[in-house]
Structure 1
Amino acid sequence: MLRPYVISIAGFDPSAGAGVLADVKCFEQHQVYGFGICSSLTIQNDTDFIKNQWISAQQIIAQLAPLLNKFKVAVCKIGLIENIKVLLQVTTYLKQHNPDIKIVLDPVLTATAGFEFHDWQNGLTQLIPVLKQISLITPNYHEFKKMGNAADEDMHKAASGWARYCPVLLKGGHNAYAPGTDFLFEYGSFQTLEPTTQEIEQKHGSGCILSASIAANLALGYSLTEACKLAKAYIEQFLNSNSTLLGYHSL
């Protein structure tokens, strides 16, 4: 059988630890066929972020058009993108082209090296038109604290509010209260995804790869819950694949 097609819209990281190169490596391990769309050009390695050049919405859509016109793409993962205006233009184009396409959004506010991309304070107000078009958003604890404008004790309440518009996977890698525990919020319910190990090696691009794995598993026909669980197992293996900041992909 032919593999399902999946697209990553993400930054071009020359180290291939994050962004579109890392996503395509992840897709290949999951045995889906991955396409890559560049949303920014970065000058960086695994520890140092130096500079970034954004790719406009028109240029992103121009890259998408010949692929979507030829191939039936099941899922699109979106990572680093210039701003919410560009994001909305891109998601709207995707849904107009294929109303059934699933979209996984991994919001990237800050590079691992500390470079700030966005300050999406009160992100819900700005993001509602986007959230209504997507299948999942995957912020980490620090990102959601800023985007949701929420105190530590209100994080779950805020995530439940966001889940009225689309499911939220609140990643626990930076959560001091429940390290490594993810929470999946869907409208009216939430599930706890416990880590299988407490001993992990830090990796550049781990958030990108988790969301890419979820996208791949959705394309393979898994439910959202199962896709998130499988992706969590994948990322734990990736994190412990070696002791450097650049992990190895293996399924």
Structure 2
Amino acid sequence: MIVMSIAGVDPSGGAGIFADLKTFQAIGVYGTGIVTALTSQNPYEFFSTQPVSPEYIEEQIDSVMDAYEVEFIKTGMLYSPEIIKLVAEKVKEYDLKAVVDPVMVATSGGNLTKEDIADAFNKYLLPKSILTTPNVSEAEKLSGININNKEEAIKATELIDCNCFITGGHLDGINVINVNNEITVKKQDLIETENLHGSGCNLSSAITAYLAKENSLMDSCFKAMDYVYNGIKNGNYGTLIAKI
């Protein structure tokens, strides 16, 4: 089972492609990684981004697809509308099933992308994807509405043109999942911790890995929630050896 991450590089290893590859390995699938940007950051501070050209991103994707049979991918930081459009084209070309983490801002607060990124996600990539996993802030940008409670989160999932999993870290632990227009609300206890760097990356990569292991989309979401919850609780993303 071979999966792909299309994302940025976090040199601290807690987020981005390095985190995705560790999660893929922990869950028991082989991960490939397409680099969209280099960043200088750590769990506490973001410094800068150096994007990779769309042409070189395309060459990376084609080189992997030339050698491996990949069905499920996840995307993280895509940086620009041009890169989002390219990835959408590749999803269509290779008939990939994409889980989109619509990364816009680092956990440490740095702006990871250009402006108009939400419009590009909505126009190009989300309609071709099987799931998107925004946090509340990202879901607000994608849906165009403010989200302050469960009802507004549900409404946002209905406005986003893709199956949608709004994570509950900024909504009192309330996770809202809309798959095929069926709403599931699952509340998790919030954990008092600073170990949140890369939690969104780990969630989307875990969903991708569980999908590759022939779980349904909903089951993959639930299993990934447990994986990330235990990672936050124990501070050991990527070292959890999944027994599922």
Given the two structures, how large is their TM-score scaled by the length of structure 1?
A: 0.87
Is 1:206 equivalent to 2:199 in the alignment? yes
Q: Which has the higher contact order (CA 8 A, sep 6+)?
A: 2
Q: Which residue of 2 aligns with 1:249?
A: 239
Match runs of 1:119-138 below 5 Å = 123=118, 127-138=122-133
- Secondary structure in 1 matching 2:57: helix
Which 10-residue stretch deviates more, 32-41 or 113-122? Answer: 113-122
Q: Which residue of 2 aligns with 1:114?
A: 109
Q: Is the 8 A contact 1:92 1:133 kept in 2?
A: no
- Secondary structure in 2 matching 1:80: coil
Q: Which residue of 2 aligns with 1:166?
A: 162
Q: Is the 8 A contact 1:122 1:148 kept in 2?
A: no
Q: Is the 8 A contact 2:46 2:110 kept in 1?
A: yes
Is 1:190 equivalent to 2:183 in the alignment? yes
Is 1:62 equivalent to 2:59 in the alignment? yes
Output the aligned Cα RMSD: 2.0
Cα gap change, 1:230 to 1:77, in 2 (>3 Å): same
Cα gap change, 1:65 to 1:172, in 2 (>3 Å): same
Q: Deviations over 1:33-62 (max 9, x none)?
A: 000111110111221211110112211111
Letter paired with 1:39: T
Aligned-residue offset at 1:161: 2.2
Q: Which residue of 1 aligns with 2:227?
A: 234
Aligned-residue offset at 1:189: 1.8
Aligned-residue offset at 1:132: 1.7
* Ranges in structure 2 where 5+ consecutive residues have no aligned partner: none
Q: Which residue of 2 aligns with 1:93?
A: 90
Match runs of 1:11-26 below 5 Å = 11-26=8-23
Q: Which residue of 2 aligns with 1:51?
A: 48
Q: What is the total number of aligned residue pairs between the two structures?
A: 237
Q: Which residue of 2 aligns with 1:220?
A: 213
Letter paired with 2:191: E
Q: Which residue of 2 aligns with 1:41?
A: 38
- Secondary structure in 2 matching 1:9: strand
Pick from 152, 155, 158 the counterpart of residue 157 of structure 1: 155
Q: Which residue of 2 aligns with 1:72?
A: 69
**Distance in 2, Cα, partners of 1:84 & 1:39:** 12
Q: Is the 8 A contact 1:184 1:192 kept in 2?
A: yes
**Distance in 2, Cα, partners of 1:79 & 1:231:** 16
**Distance in 2, Cα, partners of 1:13 & 1:122:** 20
- Secondary structure in 1 matching 2:98: strand
Which 10-residue stretch deviates more, 15-24 or 57-66? Answer: 57-66
* Ranges in structure 1 where 5+ consecutive residues have no aligned partner: none
